Amino acid sequence: MKRLRSLFLAPAWLVIALGFWIPMGIVAAYSVLTRGMYGGVELPITAESLARFADPLYLGILAKSFVLAGIATVLCAVLGFPLALFVARASSRKNLWLSLVILPFWTSFLIRTYAWVFLLRDTGLFNTMLIATGAISEPMPLLYNDGAVITGLVYGYLPFFVLPVYATLERQDPLLRDAAADLGASPWATLLRVTLPLAAPGIRAGALLVFVPSLGAYITSDLLGGSKTVLIGNLVQNQFTAGRDWPFGAAAGMVLMSVVAVLLVLLLRRDPESLL
Amino acid sequence: MKRRVFLSGLAGVAGCGGSRTLRLNVCNWSDYVAEETIPNFEKEFGVEVRYGTFESSAELFAKVMSGNSGWDVVFPPAEDLQGLRALNLLAPVRHELLRNLDRLEPGFRRPPWDPELRWGIPYMHGSTGIAFQKHLAIRRWADLWRDPLQGRITLLDDPVEVLGACLKKLGFSINSADPVELRAAQAEALELKKRIRAFLNAEVRDQLVAGDVQAAQAWAITAQQAIAETDRVAFAHPEEGFPLFCDNAVILRESRRQALAHRFIDYLLRPDVAAAIVVATGTATANGAARGLLPAEVRDNPVLYPPEEIRRKGEWFEPQPPASRKLRDRLWTEIKAA
């Protein structure tokens, strides 16, 4: 029995080892090596790259990434919860609404993000329409600022919030709501004191699924932020390309990963089932 | 472009199925050959070509650094040749195998980065300047710091270009490794950052054409593409001086098809082949004989081929020593994070 179990688990372990643990080990090893003159890594082993991260410049970049990812997560929650509720409670066409939520995944993230450039720029859809209706006379600066980056993050990761929340809402017993109503709760009170607390595991999982990729995002800030802000993802990318400092890039990646890991541990300790 | 890469990828897969045709692996910048360049070579020499593309010199460098990248011919910029050589990644070019070598423009037969053309053959070249809406009459880098442009200009998303322009504005070399000069250039860049809309590379073209962007630090090739679409856009080679670059065809030392690789480079040097590439891509060729075959308005296009008195103000990018690279990266991150 036990042998059979490990036999069936072996492929998954192999994939995780090859695709996750080994590459992560390489990143960890790179982060304590010395930069090669033309990129790459050399001996000796040093903590210099990791120590460099204590610099206010880089801590500031990390903080900014946290703030933007945090705002994006909150917005995803505000927009995503009603949407998930709507889909879960829809009496007909539930599958249609659900596929519409997933539909954007059929196109590459890069292309979807780039499409926002055409919506937000001076001669883009929004500004053209607003000018045509006389609401404004000069185009508004919609593109190339933090607002555009947050818009792109929320747009890109909203389905990651909606789906787990939908899953918990879908499983909720409608009788609970009836019971709340029978006991005199208004619909609003039922929502806040019954539906929402019961959906908490889904909300936590959704928030994590939005927050973590937002934290490492770099395409969004490049395309919609006009590269004017460096997020931690951009910093990592730049170290491996123009900066040719692989150890520092790896160190920045390790710092980001550790922060995310700590968050996960805290969350799991509080509620071991929150990621189910 | 993408479609052809995909199709040639399929050909590569098919090639694994026991076919014994020779296969040459070429990695080039995107949009750097004509549609028929590669198929014609395959037909004429009875070989297969796996054609890949890269988007930045750093990407190429990272790709070939291992020494077993699987590529035979790649196209690095001149300032990377020294580093590639130092890592022992390049095979020397054998001139006796290149019958069309004398087609190169005289200015590229003894380039400063490789005077005897031992390591690479100049392919395309270009410069960086300012593309702008014609009514602005921009002539100098310093014009970018002018008030009316507030929020309507863009810079390239590239540290050597942005620091290079700021260094030039101050009268220094684009290749300066002097911390004092670099700090001064960074101060200029920080000032300029408050006025820019975004850091954009080739994608600025559409926004220049649409009129969203009033002035952009841009590569001559990008500017020329915008100018071809609208006569409202013009390009200036800034009077303070400007960067020049040249991409070179090199053969990697790891290549086991050295003879075929030379044949490919020789093929690219043929005037008719090089001219067809220029017509299709709107780039500037280092091939003088090919230029002679082009229609006059392309051949003497002042954006792509500035006249000698302007060209003299250009400066070639050079490799940076490690200390300066580190400082420049730090300054760049500070600029970006500001």
Tokens of B54: 């890269």
Q: Which residue has the tokens 């070598």?
A: B101
* Nearest residue of chain B to residue A231 (CA atoms): B337
B191 has a chain A CB within 8 A of its CB: no
Min Cα–Cα distance to chain B from A90, Å:
42
The ipTM estimated for the assembled molecules is 0.80
Predicted confidence at residue B146, as pLDDT, reads: 86
In this structure, what are the phi and psi dihedrals at residue B36, rounded to the nearest 5 degrees? -95, -5
Q: Which residue of B has its CA nearest to A244?
A: B58
pLDDT at position B5, please?
Answer: 42
What does the pLDDT look like over B245-274, one tens digit per residue?
999 999 999 999 999 999 999 999 999 999
**Please, are residues B318 and B167 in contact by the beta-carbon 8 Å criterion?**
no
* Site from B200, B201, B232, B317 to mutate, A interface, most A CB atoms within 10 angstroms: B200
Left, alpha or beta for A226 (phi > 0: left; psi -120 to 50: alpha)? left
Taking an 8 Å cut-off on Cβ atoms, the answer to whether A241 and B199 are in contact is: no
Q: Do A226 and B58 touch (CB under 8 A)?
A: no
A155 vs chain B: nearest CA distance in angstroms? 21
Cβ atoms of B287 and B104 within 8 Å: the answer is yes
> In this complex, do A230 and B336 lie within 8 Å of one another by their Cβ atoms?
yes
Q: How far off is chain B from A180, nearest CA to CA, in Å?
A: 51
Q: Do B159 and A242 touch (CB under 8 A)?
A: yes
B73-74 vs A34-35, strand pairing mode: unpaired
Question: Comparing A140 with B111, which gets the higher pLDDT?
Answer: B111
Mutate to test the interface with B, among A228, A241, A245 (most CBs of B within 10 A): A228
- Under the banding of pLDDT at 50, 70 and 90, the label for residue A274 is low
Task: State which residue of chain A sits closest to B324, comparing Cα positions.
Answer: A243
Q: Say if residues B213 and B33 touch (Cβ distance below 8 Å).
A: no
Mean pLDDT, range B4-12, rounded to an integer = 42
Q: Residue B249: what pLDDT?
A: 96
Check A38 against B59: CB less than 8 A apart: no
Instruction: Give the C-alpha distances (Å, rounded to integers) separating B318 from A34, A38, B80, B175, B176.
Output: 24, 14, 8, 6, 10
* CB–CB contact A228 B158 (8 Å): no
Interface with B, mutate which of A41, A244, A245, A248 (most B CBs under 10 A): A244
pLDDT digits (tens, 9 = 90+) for B269-325: 999 999 999 988 888 999 999 999 998 888 889 999 999 899 999 999 998 888 898
Provide mean pLDDT across the span A131-155: 89
Residue of A57, A241, A245 lying closest to B337 (CB–CB): A57
Q: Give Cα B268 distance to the centre of its chain.
A: 16
Which residues, at least 6 apart from B182, have a Cβ–Cβ distance to it below 8 Å? B163, B167, B176, B324, B327, B328, B331
State the Cα–Cα distance between residues B145 and A166, nearest whole angstrom. Answer: 52
Task: Write out chain B residues lying below 8 Å of A37, CB-based.
Answer: 83, 86, 322
- List of chain B residues whose C-beta atoms are within 8 Å of the C-beta of residue A245: 326, 329
Q: Summarize pLDDT for B75-87 with one digit per residue, the tens.
A: 999 999 998 998 8
Q: Residue A232 in contact with residue A256, Cβ under 8 Å?
A: yes
* Residue of chain A whose alpha carbon sits nearest to that of B329: A243
Measured between its terminal Cα atoms, the distance across chain B in Å is 37
Length of chain A as a residue count: 276
B63 close to A (CB below 8 A): no
pLDDT of A273: 61
- For B155-171, letters b (16+ CB in 10 Å) and e give bbbbbbbbbbbbbbbbe
Q: How far apart are CA A177 and CA A157, in angstroms?
A: 30
pLDDT at A45 > cutoff 90: no
Q: Which uninterrupted H or E stretch holds B216?
A: strand B215-219
Q: Tell me the shortest Cα–Cα distance from B13 to chain A, in angstroms.
A: 24
Chain A residue with minimum CA distance to B157: A227
Q: What's the DSSP call for residue A250?
A: H
Measure CB to CB from residue A235 to each of B83, B193, B333 and give the nearest one: B333
Q: Is the predicted pLDDT of residue B235 greater than 90, yes or no? A: yes
Which residues of chain B lie closer than 8 angstroms to A143, CB-CB?
197-198
Q: Is B46 on the interface with A (CB under 8 A)?
A: no
**Strand A34-35 relative to strand A41-42: parallel, antiparallel, unpaired?**
antiparallel
- Cross-chain residue pair A227–B336, CB shorter than 8 Å: yes
Query: What is residue B17's predicted lDDT score, i.e. its pLDDT?
Result: 42
**Whether pLDDT at B19 is above 60:** no
Chain B: closest CA distance from residue A229 (Å):
6
Which chain A residues are within 8 Å of B83, Cβ to Cβ? 37-38
Do A121 and B210 count as a contact with CB atoms less than 8 A apart? yes
CA distance A258 to chain B (A): 22
Interface of A with B (CB under 8 A): 35, 37-40, 57-58, 60-61, 64, 121-123, 139, 141, 143-144, 222, 225-230, 234-235, 238-245
Q: What is the pLDDT of residue A138?
A: 81
Instruction: List the domains of chain A with CATH numbers.
Output: 59-246 (1.10.3720.10)
pLDDT band at A123 (very low <50, low <70, confident <90, very high): confident
Give the tens place of pLDDT for each residue, B29-85: 988 999 999 999 999 999 999 999 988 888 898 889 888 899 999 999 999 999 899
Q: CB distance from B247 to chain A under 8 Å?
A: no
Residue A143, Cβ neighbours under 10 Å: how many?
27
pLDDT digits (tens, 9 = 90+) for B179-210: 999 999 999 999 999 999 999 988 899 889 98
* DSSP H or E segment with residue A35: strand A34-35
Contact A245 B333 (CB under 8 A): no
Domains of chain B plus CATH, in order, are 2-125+246-305 (3.40.190.10), 126-243+311-337 (3.40.190.10)
Supply the pTM of this predicted model: 0.83
Q: From the list A38, A122, A238, which residue is nearest B86 (CB)?
A: A38
Contact state of A57 with B333 under an 8 Å Cβ cutoff = yes
